Amino acid sequence: MIAGIFGTIDNPTKYTSPEGQGLFQFISQMLQLAGVIAGLYFAVNIILAGYMYLSANGDIKKTEQAWAKIWQSILGMIIVASAFVLTSVIGGLLGINILSPIIKGPND
């Protein structure tokens, strides 16, 4: 412990995890972040496609482009969501928590 102007600072080695777990936690967090980014991208695409649809003014080509963008956005979100569901199901069948891994060390 170090006392100083900022108060008490604990030694960071006090909170170490088993060897290699940090990498798996990092990968898990990056995959979850990718899921959030995909969700935000989906929401923006749906809003833009809705605006394209509303501003088509009866033009068949613009309407088809808007519907294509809507369907592509929905299909992309279904793929991302099903990837998380499939990962969870496979992890449940194998008894492994793939989305939030916990690595046991030799002393655990």
pLDDT in tens, 47-97: 999 999 999 888 899 999 999 999 999 999 999 999 888 888 888 888 777
15 has a pLDDT exceeding 60: no
Higher pLDDT, 19 or 75: 75
- Alpha helix locations (H) across 1-108? 21-54, 60-94
Residues 6+ apart with CB under 8 A from 100: 25, 28
**Residue 7 region by backbone torsions, left for phi larger than 0, else alpha for psi between -120 and 50, else beta:** left
Question: pTM of this prediction?
Answer: 0.64
Domain membership of residue 59 (yes or no) is yes
Q: What is the pLDDT of residue 96?
A: 74
Please report whether residue 12 resides in a domain: no
- Return all residues near 74 (Cβ < 8 A) that are at least 6 apart: 46
Q: What is the mean pLDDT of residues 1-5?
A: 59
Q: Determine the average pLDDT of the residues in 13-28.
A: 62
CB atoms within 10 A of CB 67: 14
Q: Which domain holds residue 62?
A: 21-94
> How many domains does the chain divide into?
1
